[in-house]
Structure 1
Amino acid sequence: MTTFDEREQGFERKFAHDQELEFKATARRNRLLGEWAAGLMGLATAEEYARAVVKSDFEQPGDEDVLRKVFEDLKGAGVSTTEGEVRMKMAELLAQAREQIKSE
């Protein structure tokens, strides 16, 4: 195996590792977001709602489905919030989730 091949495989392994970490961070962010929203809505079943939020991310790739679910649920529960506030919370929780995963 040449040095070039070894280097290429190293980059591929790093890319795969980075993608796995980002997937885990996004899933954790969604769980944290679900717990946050459940608290705002006063739900007794925060863990169940958090699982529903994580599951909503698998319906379509990207954050829009998660944002839409949480924002609509908050609005439906009478919580006064904006889409921008939910987006900001998602960004904050993603940074928090990344830090948690790095420290594990």
Structure 2
Amino acid sequence: MTIYDERERAAERQYVQMAEKPFRIRARRDKMLASWVATLLGRDIARCLEDIIEADFARGDEGVLKKLESDLAILGLSDTRNLIRHKMQKCFADAVRDVEGSVNQ
């Protein structure tokens, strides 16, 4: 293998990692959100995760927000939308740190 082949393969690996990163961050965020909502509602994490993933694929962040807003309505909390947005932002930031940390190892 020549040095050019090695460079090409390294560039391909880097491209794949860069392409996968947004998906991995979003998946990690969704898992954190599922854990949070499952704990609040006393539900199964896996089922909550399935629901969040479905909402995310169907309508993106707005779909996730509406799904969680609907789920948390039974708690009777005030300002649920802002609570969920804040939690989504925090989970996203934590997911970025987690994924960045795993890529750099």
TM-score, length basis structure 1: 0.74
Structure 2 CA distance for aligned equivalents of residues 87 and 42 of structure 1? 21
Mapped pair 1:50 → 2:46: no
Q: Where does residue 102 of structure 1 map in the other structure? A: 100
* Amino acid corresponding to residue 46 of structure 1 in structure 2: I
Q: CA RMSD in A?
A: 1.9
Moved over 2 A (4+): 16-20
Q: Where does residue 31 of structure 2 map in the other structure? A: 31
Query: Alignment identity in percent?
Result: 29
Structure 1 CA distance for aligned equivalents of residues 76 and 90 of structure 2? 20
Structure 1 stretches lacking a partner, 5+ long? 1-9
Structure 1 CA distance for aligned equivalents of residues 35 and 76 of structure 2? 15
Higher helix share: 2
TM-score, length basis structure 2: 0.73
Q: Where does residue 59 of structure 1 map in the other structure? A: 58
Q: What displacement does 1:19 show?
A: 4.3
Structure 2 stretches lacking a partner, 5+ long? 1-10
SS in 2 for 1:58: helix
Structure 2 CA distance for aligned equivalents of residues 94 and 36 of structure 1? 13
SS in 1 for 2:77: coil
Q: Is the 8 A contact 1:31 1:51 kept in 2?
A: no
Q: Is the 8 A contact 1:38 1:49 kept in 2?
A: yes
Q: What displacement does 1:17 show?
A: 4.3
